[in-house]
Structure 1
Amino acid sequence: MEGEISNSQLKAAQIPDPDGNLRGWVHFAHSFNGYEFAGSLEACAAIANGGKASSLSELRCALFFEARRDRHSGGYTDVTPTVRELLRQIKAMVEQQEQSGRSKKSSSAEPR
């Protein structure tokens, strides 16, 4: 998929503001191929519909599926609350990874 961003390359600044106008959320959702991650449409749907996504990949898979759901429903399904919650969780997880990455770099740079 063109424009994919791996979890290791993902930065918090690339994630749409979950409390903002959500402009760009569909484009961001498509930066991760949920079908490929899950192995099939059905498995991707199960992750999204199960409400138990907890890893960064599962959360991004669920967001990808919500983008597909929104597209195929013709806008008749309001995915906004789910999208906002997924974006919050994704952003928090990425910010935590960035913090721990900075902590590791600063502690390894300190003289012993």
Structure 2
Amino acid sequence: MARQVRVPDEDADSQDFINFAHSYNGYELRGGLEALAAMVQSARGRWHRTGELGEDVDVLRACLFYEVRAHRHSGGYGVFEQEPFVAALVTRIRSLSGGLVQTKGRVA
């Protein structure tokens, strides 16, 4: 059974953002790494061009999951929640969801 998790506030610490990002399994729910990466590339490109992220919370959460995995695989340097795309994603997810979402996919 899925449990609800709170979307972190903008002043939450890195671990809260990382834990939240892992509450959605983008690999499982978006057809694997290649399909997920293509979706994220499209969403990130649109955000860079227009500043818009759309209204689909699942797409936004998949992007956040991808970003946290990329952050980890690049060595985990830098402050995850201060990455502009990450901060924008979490702000939009919080706005659309009212601050609570359900875990999705197999998550730890």
Identify the residue that residue 65 of structure 1 maps to in structure 2. Answer: 66
1:27 partnered with 2:24: no
- RMSD of the alignment, in Å? 2.8
Query: Which structure: greater strand fraction?
Result: 2
Q: Counterpart of 1:24 in 2: which secondary structure?
A: helix
Unpaired segments of 5 or more residues in structure 2? 47-52, 101-108
| 1:62-86 superposed Cα distances (whole Å, 9 cap, x missing partner) | 0000000000000357751111000
User: What is the identity, as a one-letter code, of the residue corresponding to 1:45?
Assistant: A
> Residues 34 and 61 of structure 1 are in contact (CA less than 8 Å); yes or no, is this contact kept in structure 2?
yes
Query: Runs of 4+ in structure 1 displaced over 6 angstroms?
Result: none
With the length of structure 2 as denominator, give the TM-score of the two structures: 0.68
Structure with higher RCO (Cα < 8 A, 6+ apart): 2
| 1:32-71 superposed Cα distances (whole Å, 9 cap, x missing partner) | 1111121110111112221255311100000000000000
Bigger radius of gyration: 1
Instruction: Count residues with an aligned counterpart.
Output: 90
